[in-house]
């Protein structure tokens, strides 16, 4: 199916998704999803398991192509010029993707080589490790790190090539509360200091409450979008959790996160 061409983005808009559709056989995982994220904006993609969050991330990271719709990253048509979009994109997937037998520095150097950064990329590694709180862990193997610290390595890796858009796909699953708080604080600081745009997929309402904007996705469709306060007000509820459950049903898994040691 031919996909419609996209126009250039409005200045300051980092991600523009228009009417994205993706089906797997008879199952429509995404049914006309549209969203825009501006530079420096932290958007939470809130939805229960099976909402379509991972499918959207697969489209945004180039792993799959939408059946219909359009995607632009920093004004570039991602479907026509994926390499330009990928160069401006950092991703932390839900499933760990580190080489556990390499050192922290070894993982980052390998990523630097994949992006062709050379000496420039390697020179960024020490400061990045300071930024994410891993100074002194440079030569430790990733296998020896806690779950929270492995996530910090993955975040440092995702930021190494200075992306303009960061995708965090359920990146705090299995982490203890302190590690979740630290990881989110690190990302939000990049939004404030560097204008990084972030799409943070989660099924945890307490994470979404900290976002600039929340995009509620359920069964492949947008149910609501706005600031946490706007969504609460529009639903005539008193909390974001109540609003989310009202929209998606009590089986959505919006309760308290599992507190698993990192």
pLDDT digits over 33-79, tens only?
Answer: 999 999 999 999 999 988 999 999 999 999 999 999 999 999 999 99
Q: Which of 146, 162, 178 is the last residue of a domain?
A: 162
Same domain, 241 and 119: no
Examine the domain organization and report whether 78 and 137 are in the same domain: no
Sign for the CA dihedral angle at 97, 152, 115, 189 comes to positive
CATH number at residue 168: 3.40.50.300
Confidence (pLDDT) at 258: 47
Number of domains in the chain: 2
Evaluate if residue 187 carries a pLDDT over 80: yes
Beta-carbon neighbour count of residue 150 at 10 Å?
22
Report pTM.
Answer: 0.88
Q: Which of 137, 162, 187 is the last residue of a domain?
A: 162
Give yes or no: residues 247 and 192 share one domain: yes
The verdict on 145 and 174 lying in the same domain is no
172 with 225, same domain: the answer is yes
Secondary structure letter of residue 103 according to DSSP: B
Indicate whether 82 and 149 sit together in one domain: no
- Residue-wise DSSP of 165-229: EEEEESTTTT--HHHHHHHHHHHHHHHHHH--EEEEEES-HHHHTTSSEEEEEETTEEEEEE-HH
231 occurs within a structural domain: yes
Which tokens hold the place of 148?
A: 């929270």
pLDDT mean over 186-195: 93
Do residues 76 and 181 share a domain?
Answer: yes
Q: How many CB atoms lie within 10 A of CB 224?
A: 18
pLDDT band at 150 (very low <50, low <70, confident <90, very high): very high
In this prediction, residues 81-104 reach a mean pLDDT of: 93
User: How many Cβ atoms sit within 10 Å of the Cβ of residue 258?
Assistant: 10
Whole-number Å distance between alpha carbons of 242 and 123:
47
Is the pLDDT confidence value at 110 over 50?
yes
pLDDT bucket at 262, cuts 50 / 70 / 90: very low
> Do 139 and 69 belong together in one domain?
no
For residue 248, which of 208, 199, 200, 197 has the smallest C-alpha distance?
Answer: 208
Rounded mean pLDDT of 109-134? 89
How many C-beta atoms lie closer than 10 Å to residue 83's C-beta? 9
Asked whether 253 and 48 are in contact (CB, 8 A), the reply is: yes
Question: Do 169 and 196 fall into the same domain?
Answer: yes
Residues 170 and 237 in one domain: yes
pLDDT digits (tens, 9 = 90+) for 4-26: 333 344 457 999 999 999 999 99
pLDDT over 80 (residue 261):
no
Residue 27's beta-bridge partner residues? Answer: 24
Question: Of 143, 162, 181, which residue constitutes the final position of a domain?
Answer: 162
Indicate whether 60 belongs to any domain.
Answer: yes
pLDDT in tens, 242-258: 999 999 987 655 545 54
Which structural domain range is residue 105 located in?
Answer: 98-162
Same domain, 168 and 244: yes
Give 232's contacts (C-beta < 8 A, 6+ positions apart).
238, 239, 240, 242, 243
Residue 209 has pLDDT above 60, yes or no: yes
């Amino acid at each position: 199916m031919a996909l419609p061409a996209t126009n250039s983005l409005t200045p300051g808009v980092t991600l523009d998704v228009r009417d994205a559709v993706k089906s797997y056989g008879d199952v429509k995982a995404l049914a006309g999803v549209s969203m825009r994220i501006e530079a420096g904006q932290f958007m939470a993609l809130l939805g229960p398991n099976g909402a379509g969050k991972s499918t959207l991330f697969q489209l945004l990271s180039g792993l799959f192509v939408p059946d219909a719709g359009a995607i632009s990253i920093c004004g570039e048509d991602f479907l026509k010029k994926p390499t330009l979009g990928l160069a401006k994109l950092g991703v932390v997937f839900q499933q760990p993707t580190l080489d556990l037998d390499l050192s922290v520095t070894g993982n980052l150097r390998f990523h630097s080589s994949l992006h062709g950064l050379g000496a420039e990329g390697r020179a960024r590694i020490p400061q990045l490790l300071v930024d994410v709180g891993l100074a002194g862990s440079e030569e430790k193997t990733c296998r020896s790190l806690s779950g929270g610290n492995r996530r910090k390595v993955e975040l440092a890796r995702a930021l190494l090539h200075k992306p303009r858009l960061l995708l965090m796909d359920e990146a705090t699953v299995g982490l203890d509360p302190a590690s979740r708080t630290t990881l989110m604080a690190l990302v939000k600081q990049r939004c404030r200091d560097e204008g990084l745009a972030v799409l943070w997929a989660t099924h945890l309402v307490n994470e979404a409450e900290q976002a600039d904007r929340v995009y509620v996705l359920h069964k492949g469709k947008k149910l609501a979008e706005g600031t946490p306060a706007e969504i609460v007000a529009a639903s005539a509820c008193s909390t974001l959790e109540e609003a989310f459950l009202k929209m998606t049903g009590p089986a959505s898994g919006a309760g308290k996160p599992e507190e698993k040691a990192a």
